[in-house]
Structures are given as C-alpha cells and as structure tokens.
Amino acid sequence: MSIMLQEIAEQPVVLERTIQAERTKYSKLSAALSRRDIDLIVLVARGSSDNASLFGRYLLEITTGIPVSLSAPSVFTLYGASLNFKRALVIGVSQSGEGTDINEVLGSAKRSGAFTLGVTNEAGSTMAGIADETLLIHAGREKSVAATKTYTGQMLHFYMLAAALSQRQIEFERIPHFAAQALQLTSAVEELVGRYVFMENCVVVGRGLNYGNSYELALKLMETCYVVAERFSSADFFHGPLAIVERRFPVIMFGPAGVTRASNVELLERLQELHADSLSITNDPEIATRSARVLSMPVEIDEFLSPIPFIIPAQLFAGMLAREKGLDADAPRSLSKVTKTI
C-alpha cells in the first residue's frame, strides 16, 4: 500500500485529535476576535492549501457575513503593493508553514495592521513564528507528496474558525465519524478504478461548499495519475466547457443532497443526453439514478458537513488509480513536498 493511501486512512484519527487539541485555543480566539472590528477576511495559500481556502471562503462568508478574499501573493512579492489591512483578519494556510510567498504576505499584512492566523501542520515553522496565533493540524508528519490528511485538517480548522467567529452551533465534532464512514468505500473504489486506467482527460465538478473539492480532486489526478483534469462549478460548466464532452468522456461530480442538488441534476441530465461517463460521489437518490457510476455516501451527512467526508473517496480514487496505472503516487515526477515560490 502506498504512503498516500495509508495517510488517507489516518484521517478520522487526525481530525478527532485536532479537535481535541485545538478546542481550548478557539475559545480564547473567539473572545479576542470579538474585540476587533473585522470587516474583511483574506486567505493566503498555494496548491492544496489554496483549494482548502476556496472551501473556507464559502464557509466563512455563509456563516459570518464577512467578505472573504483569496489573496494573490504576486501582488506583494512581484509588484510590491502595500495594502491596508487595519480591519482585516489575514489567514495563511500551509501544511509546511514554509511557503516563502505565503509568509511574506502574512508578514506584510501584520505590519499593515491585520490580525494574523497561521494554519499549519508544523509548530516550529516560519509561519508559526510570524502569525499572531497558530492553528495546528495534528496530523503527524505527512510523508506523501500528495496532501491528504493536511488538506482535510485545514478544512476542519475553517469549520472551527467559523464557529468561533459567528457564534453559530456547527456540529464539526461529527466530521471524524463521517470520515470513518467514507473510508468504508475503499473496496468499492478499488473495484471501480480499473475502468479508468486509460483515462487521460476528465472534468471534475462541484458547487458551493464542494467547489474547492473539485479543484482538489483535479489536482490529485494531475499530480499522482498525470491525468489532465479540468474543474468547474456545475453551474459554470454550462457556459462553454460543456462543448468538450463527447461519448464516454469522464465527468466526476461531488453531488451531496442539499441546495446544490438542482443544478447537479440538470447537468447530469445533459450528460446523459451526451452519453458521457459520469461518476458521482453522492448521497442523493436522484443524482445517483442519473449517474453512470456512483460512490454512495451515507444519507445522514448534511451538505454543510459534506466536503471533508466527500473528498475521502475521491482521494482513494486518485491513489488507487495511480497504482492501477503503475505510478508512484507518493513521489510524483518533478514535484517536491515543500514548494517555495516568490
């Protein structure tokens, strides 16, 4: 078994450990943030951390009503811009905490008056030394180049932060259990991947809270399986990209029951007409019926809590497909675990 698949299996324990270790810190952080007049949240990240931040943007805007921006680090590192962050919360997200451009943005924001947070798996990282407060993912060392347990750990921190900022009851304590349930699909995924061993191109779609997951699965397929994977919102996919779909073209969908259901069903109806090869990760009966292939998730998982458990069978799919293709998912060509860019 690859290290990537081993680390995917660790996620329920990592998520539970992170909740227990960081809960007290969030109680204090909630009080500190309530005393600040925050009217903007800025997220700074690259790679899988950026995909987790895309999820975080949706979640924080939905729960807090505060506008959230995804930072463009080049604005700072290449163009030397100076922004006013006096009423902003700026959050750096990096599994290693050593992304040079991420840390430069975080430091610049702090000097400009922002309250800064670092979300990282490394307590002794450069990021932890810069941020006003560090939110740790208690994942242990992540050895595979492809991020899995740190990605879901970052997403969990956004749930905990949303609860702290909004004072809403968010049942994130249920997520480790849902993650364990998702791992029960391991055999089903293993049976499925053989059909896709010759896949060279595909599209991944997800909307709303699962939009970031479409980016993350596409990234996993590109970096571990060398599949050219495009990613779209199911709503955006109608605006031009649908033209690339032909008979047997693979389209992978994150389709939880909930408010995104209608647009997902509409897209699947069109894909049926085009005889596309649709694979849905879903707990909605109609989405399942309209999909060529299905990975069925428990019906008890509400859409609001679906992103973490729904990405797990997708991670398994990428890791097992790499193995089926005879590739080393733990050491993709041309890549390293820590990427430092300016």
Domain co-membership, 63 together with 83: yes
Q: Which residues pair with 120 in a beta bridge?
A: 136
| CA dist., res. 46 & res. 244, Å (int) | 28
Domain assignment present for 110? yes
Nearest to 170 by CA among 12, 26, 37, 9: 26
Q: Are residues 106 and 211 in the same domain?
A: no
Task: Indicate the residue among 170, 197, 217 that finishes a domain.
Answer: 170
96 in the same domain as 138: yes
Write out pLDDT tens, residues 309-333: 999 999 999 999 999 999 998 887 7
Distance CA 248, CA 337 (A): 34
Is 333 within the bounds of a domain? no
| Residues 87 and 182 occupy one common structural domain | no
Residues 181, 105 within the same domain = no
102 lies in the same domain as 12: yes
Indicate the pLDDT class of residue 274, thresholds 50, 70 and 90.
confident
Residue 219 maps to which CATH number?
A: 3.40.50.10490
The confidence band for 76, taking pLDDT boundaries of 50, 70 and 90, is: confident
Residue 131 resides in a domain: yes
Domain span at 204: 176-324
Block residue for tokens 């992540």: 142
pLDDT at res. 238: 64
Given this model, what pLDDT does residue 119 score?
98
User: In a 10 Å sphere around its CB, with 0-12 CB exposed, 13-18 middle and 19+ buried, how is residue 181 labelled?
Assistant: middle
Same domain, 156 and 46: yes
Structural domain contains residue 330: no
Q: What percent of the chain has pLDDT over 90?
A: 81
Q: Are residues 162 and 187 in the same domain?
A: no
pLDDT of 59 reads 98
What does the pLDDT look like over 11-35, one tens digit per residue?
999 999 999 999 999 989 999 888 8
Residue 150 domain-assigned (yes or no): yes
